[in-house]
Each structure stands twice: as structure tokens, then as C-alpha cells.
Amino acid sequence: MSANRKGDRRERELVNQLDAAGFAVMRAPASGSATDRDLPDVLAGDDGRFYAIEAKSSSGDPIYLSGEEVEALIYFAQNFGAKARIAVRFDREDWYFFHPGDLYTTDGGNYRVKKETALADGTDFDELVGHSERTTLDDL
């Protein structure tokens, strides 16, 4: 399966999960190539929460995003009134979400998410949609 087909399938999976959680949601298919405008992969909202999401998946290798991708997401989210989120999914794992400012920045100005970072520090799906809240040892 090509990387694009797999990425499209994963984006549809995320849209379906958000829909099942009660969000109004839409996917911008081929957002990077279908238009000259920079659009996020997914827009979702419910009850005053709005997200502009750039979704990436990987078989296990670190996920990289260009500085331009992240800047375009932030710009769109600010203009739209949404929270910018980077969604990452590694094979055999769930979706994890990051605020762009929480991502590791490479020396070249790009962004990286490692699988270990996603599992340890990412916001999981239930927390994103408000079905759970993370508690750390510092909170106790």
C-alpha cells in the first residue's frame, strides 16, 4: 500500500473517531495538493472546542513535519479560531496529539515526533475530546 493511500486511510479513521465522539468534522482530502491554499488535514468542533489538525502516521520511524507545514497550520488555525494540533499515529498505537509549540524542533527548522515521545507526552484521543483528563504525579 502506498504511503499516500495509508495516510488517507488513517485520516479517514481519525475523522470517523472524532465523528463517533460527537464532533462535527470534515477532512480536506489531499489538502496539500488540491488547492493553492494551505489547509489542515482535518477540521473538527463541538460545543465551543475547535481543532485544525495536521495528521501524520508512520510505521515506527520518527515523524517529520516541515516548518512550512506547521506555520501554515498555525496561521490557518488562528484565522479560523481553532486550536492547532498535530496528530500522530504509529502502527499498532492510538492517535496522539500535540500543540505545535510542544514539538521538537530540528536544527533545520523542521519538527519531529518520535514514537516514545508520543506515548509518553502526547495527549491521547480521550483527553482531546474531553472524555478523560491526564493526571501526573505532580498533580497528586
Q: State yes or no: 41 annotated in a binding site.
A: yes
Report the number of distinct structural domains present in the chain. Answer: 1
Q: pLDDT value at position 22?
A: 94
- Whether pLDDT at 140 is above 70: no
> pLDDT for 22-41, tens place per residue?
999 999 865 555 456 788 99
C-alpha gyration radius of the chain: 15
Tell me the C-alpha distance between 45 and 22, whole Å.
Answer: 9
> pLDDT for 1-16, tens place per residue?
555 776 788 899 999 9
Q: pLDDT value at position 28?
A: 83
Tell me the C-alpha distance between 33 and 50, whole Å.
Answer: 24
Q: State yes or no: 138 annotated in a binding site.
A: no
Amino acid found at 51: Y
Q: What is the DSSP string of 5-39?
A: HHHHHHHHHHHHHHHHTT-EEEE-TTTTTS-SS--
Across the range 121-126, mean pLDDT stands at 94
Tell me the C-alpha distance between 11 and 57, whole Å.
Answer: 9
* Residues facing residue 35 across a β-bridge: none
pLDDT band at 79 (very low <50, low <70, confident <90, very high): very high
CATH value at residue 63: 3.40.1350.10
> pLDDT for 94-108, tens place per residue?
999 999 999 999 999
**Would residue 59 show up in a list of annotated catalytic residues for this protein?**
no
Task: Name the residue range of residue 87's domain.
Answer: 3-139
